[in-house]
């Protein structure tokens, strides 16, 4: 055990990559996405979709364009996302009160019920994510990530 453990198998050299925050973020992202898919794939919900459902739940009646900004998506992308969720009877488009151009988005009872299950699964997923971190380290990680893009909350 004298050679530094590199990755995978064959002792490949990753050059400058491991020192780059952007690369480590990317690796973490890839692994998270896979664990998330394994944990919630059964419900056909990706991290992005989960975020959309949480945001609608927390802001019932919000408009599609508000959701677009919040979720970092184009308005046109939101159309297909909501089409998808509406087809699955998880979300409803209602006429907005003071603006006949807008839709007011709300979760259906099915959506609310699913969200409850999803939250439990995501909680377990998060626990796996940070299982090698102490509680203090976990808080530090979240804080540092927030600091990277303070404008984003």
Partner DNA sequence: TATTGTTATACTCTATAACTATA
Partner DNA sequence: TATAGTTATAGAGTATAACAATA
Contacts to a copy of itself by CB under 8 A: 5-10, 12-32, 36, 47-48, 51, 54-55, 57-59, 62, 66, 69-70, 72, 119, 122, 125-126, 129-130, 132-133, 137-138, 140-142, 144-150, 152-153
Is residue 129 within 8 A of residue 122, CB to CB? The reply is no
Using the minimum distance from each CB to DNA, give the nearer residue, 71 or 141.
Answer: 71
The torsion of the CA quartet 78, 83, 88, 90, rounded to 10 degrees, works out to 50
CB of 9 to a copy of itself, least distance (A): 7
CB under 8 Å to 89, separation ≥6 — which residues?
A: 108, 110, 111
Query: Binding partner of residue 28 among DNA, a copy of itself, none, CB under 5 to 8 Å per kind?
Result: a copy of itself
Binds 82: which of DNA, a copy of itself, none (CB < 5-8 Å by kind):
DNA
Computed on alpha carbons and rounded to an integer, the radius of gyration of the chain in Å comes to: 19
Nearer to DNA, 99 or 137 (CB): 99
Query: Please, which residue, 101 or 132, has the CB nearer to DNA?
Result: 101
- Tokens coding 26: 């990317």
Strands 91-95 and 103-107: antiparallel
């Amino acid at each position: 055990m004298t050679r530094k453990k590199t990755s995978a198998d064959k002792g490949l050299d990753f050059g400058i990559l491991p020192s780059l925050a952007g690369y480590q973020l990317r690796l973490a992202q890839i692994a998270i996405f896979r664990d998330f898919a394994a944990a919630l794939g059964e419900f056909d919900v990706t991290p992005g979709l989960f975020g959309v459902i949480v945001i609608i739940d927390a802001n019932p009646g919000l408009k599609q364009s508000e959701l677009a900004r919040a979720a970092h998506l184009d308005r046109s992308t939101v159309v297909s996302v909501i089409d998808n969720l509406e087809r699955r009877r998880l979300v409803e488009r209602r006429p907005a009160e003071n603006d006949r151009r807008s839709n007011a988005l709300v979760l259906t009872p099915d959506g609310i019920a699913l969200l409850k299950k999803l939250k439990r699964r995501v909680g377990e997923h998060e626990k796996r994510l940070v299982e090698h971190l102490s509680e203090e380290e976990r808080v530090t990680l979240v804080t540092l990530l927030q600091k990277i893009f303070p404008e984003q909350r």
